[in-house]
Amino acid sequence: MACWDSPTIVFFDLETTGLCVKRCHITQLGASYEDYNFDQYILPRIPIQEKASELTGMTVSGGRLFVYGQRVKTVFVYRALKSFINFLGDFHGPVLLAAHNSRRFDELVLMRLLAKFSLFKRFKKVVSGFVDTLLLSKDLYPDLHGYSLQKLAHRFLGGEYNCHNAVDDAELLEKLFNIWDPNDEDIWNVTKWI
């Protein structure tokens, strides 16, 4: 188990080709920590499902990835994962990755791909665990009527949520987390150590 001294919590999000954690491909990997961002688009090897495309604006045409009709630079998933590990390695440890609904989606997809590309050992050297902010929001505010990022953004930030961009979602989540200001025990209760 990791030491709890001054964890660095990096907020991350994945945009994917769909919602099946066993088969979906990542189309964007984004993260936020204070003034530092990570943003990589990845050309998927399977079609983007219609619902995912509607939410993210991502489409593939001619072997290229487009976001709302604009072509974006892509990298191979292996390179994106290695770059992400390097990005996380620049922070003071232990590093915890925080995502909304992490336990049921983001960490499962990420861990599957890290294992597939034999990057888990390298990842584990810089990341100690995952914080699920969906569970955290339910623990901190049990009387809310919905815990989607959209509803939480409206409730705590007074704005409309229209992101579905991995970096924007990670930044939004970081803002919410800072407003909630959870204590160590709150965080510990929703952390899954690796």
Domain ranges of the chain: 10-193
pLDDT per residue over 177-194, tens digit each? 999 999 999 999 999 999
Segment holding 88, helix H or strand E: helix 77-89
pLDDT tens, 31-41?
A: 999 999 999 99
Distance CA 55, CA 71 (A): 17
CA distance 160 to 181: 21
Among 149, 120, 108, 150, residue whose Cα is nearest residue 19: 108
Query: What is the tens place of the pLDDT at every residue in 98-156?
Result: 999 999 999 999 999 999 999 999 999 999 999 999 999 999 999 999 999 999 999 99
Q: Return the beta strands (E) in 26-86 as ranges.
A: 26-33, 36-42, 58-61, 64-67, 70-71, 74-75
Topology at the third CATH level for domain 10-193? Nucleotidyltransferase; domain 5 (3.30.420)
pLDDT at residue 16, rounded to an integer: 98
